[in-house]
Amino acid sequence: MNKEQYMREALQEAEKAREKGEVPIGAVVVLNGEIIGRAHNLRETTNNAITHAEILAIQDACHNQNAWRLEGAELYVTLEPCPMCSGAILLSRIETVYYGAADPKAGTAGTLMNLLQDSRFNHECNVESGILAEECGAILTNFFRDLRARKKRQKES
C-alpha cells in the first residue's frame, strides 16, 4: 500500500466516527507495511476528552504489538494532531506522521507550532502534511456544516 491508500484507511475510520455523531477524525498505525492499530474519535460516545483517534490508534497498536515503543511505525491521521496527541506520538516513539488536513486551531505538527520536530524532546518525528488533504478537510467541513444546520433547525422549532 502507498501513503494515499493508508490515508484512505484513516478516512474509513473517520467515516465510522461521523456515523456515530463524532467529529470525523480517523487514524491508522502502520509498521512494516501492516496496519497494526486503527481508531476514530470517540469523545462524545465515551464522554472522555482524551479519546481522540490518534490516542486510541496508538493504544490499539501497543496492545497488538505488546509493546509501548512503536519504533519504526508510521501514523496516518486525517487531521493534524493536537498537543495531547503529539505528546502520545512522541512518547510512543512513532517515526513518521502523515496527516491530511491542517488544523489552524490546535495543530501541533507545523501549523500552530511543531511539537513533533522540537529538538528539546528526546524523540522527534518525520512529518508529512497534505496527504488527501482535500478529502480529509471535506469530511470535517461537511460534518460541521450539517451540525450547524441541525442546531439551527432545533432552535427554530
In tens, the pLDDT along 17-70 reads 999 999 999 999 999 999 999 999 999 999 999 999 999 999 999 999 999 999
User: Per-residue confidence at 152, pLDDT binned at 50, 70, 90?
Assistant: confident
Binding-site annotation: residue ranges: 52, 82, 85
Binding-site annotation: residue ranges for Zn(2+): 52, 82, 85
Q: Which three cell numbers stand for residue 56?
A: 486510541
Q: Where are the domains of the chain?
A: 3-151
Residue type at 55?
A: I
Q: Which of 13, 54, 74, 80 is catalytic?
A: 54
Can you give the pTM of this predicted structure?
0.95
Burial of 95 (0-12, 13-18, 19+ CB in 10 A): middle
Residue length of the chain: 157
Q: How far apart are CA 132 and CA 149, in angstroms?
A: 26
- 93-129: pLDDT as tens digits: 999 999 999 999 999 999 999 999 999 999 999 999 9
Is 71 part of the annotated catalytic residue set? no
- Is residue 14 within 8 Å of 26, Cβ to Cβ? yes
- Is residue 85 within 8 Å of 75, Cβ to Cβ? no
Q: Mean per-residue pLDDT for 67-83?
A: 99
Please list the residues that pair with 97 across neighbouring strands: 75, 127
Helix and strand numbers, DSSP H then E, in the chain: 5, 5
Was domain 3-151 assigned CATH 3.40.140.10? Answer: yes
Radius of gyration of the chain (CA): 15
